[in-house]
Structure 1
Amino acid sequence: MILRTGALWLGLFALYLGLAGQAGLHEAVTGAVVAALATAWACRVRRHAQRRFAWPAGALRHGGRTFAGLVPATARTGRVLLRAALTGFHPGHALRRPFRRGPEDDPAEAGRRACALLLASLSPDSFVLRADPGRDEALVHALGAPGPASDPRWLA
């Protein structure tokens, strides 16, 4: 618990300093205070949460692939929207994609579902509309041609 809390504080502190734009004593003190407050808030939420989440296996691999695909997806989206503006063609459509939910009470599966839905919605050319409990599918809105068949555990 202490190791996880320390890593969270360190990560938030580094994020603050990276986004501050300059390095100095004022930024370091402010970053330490903000990281401490955010860490305390996260620990309190984690302690009192009714639904538990765990960091899912494969999240870094799928997250890296998602972030690596943002530039090409943005270019595709720009082309599709430009064509739609010039021709009046409506490029959006909803797709039902397989999405294996897994057990509802398993923290690792809950974390995987949360990461999968967030990563699937980060792309500028698609986002998740619905992923209802009890159904092993997700309704995804997409621009342009449908992408390749997705991994049913990650929607990516």
Structure 2
Amino acid sequence: MEIDAWVWWLIAAVGLGIPLVLTAMPEFGMFSAGAIAAAVVAALGTGIVTQVLVFAGMSVALIAVVRPIANRHRAQRPQHATGVDALKGRSAVVLERVDGSGGRIKLSGEVWSARSLDTDRSFEPGQQVDVVEIDGATAVVM
């Protein structure tokens, strides 16, 4: 029993899809799509040269077109700040006088130790301050 060429191309497409899943390298998916395109033209009865050209052409075209688009989207993805980085730039309310040596603020629903960025400046209870940075467990405010 002889297996048709299009079946071999589908086997190749599945074989190329396995490393895509295991390594998360999208290039394997593009090669797999090229193998599917070659299977389609093989099912239409074209010769092996045409099948290989379609496989190579489709794979290269996908890599040339899709990869730069994917890289651009990956570079433009907004970075979400987490942990203490997410607290920088937030507003807080002074609970106990804050100066260069210390104090307390309410930041994101929690009570934090705080100190003033400018050691000569102080903030009284009830004032709004902005968090400039987090130094250990102390918020530096202005």
TM-score, normalisation: structure 1: 0.28
Larger RCO (CA under 8 A, 6+ residues apart): 1
TM-score, normalisation: structure 2: 0.30
Find the structure with the greater CA-based Rg. 2
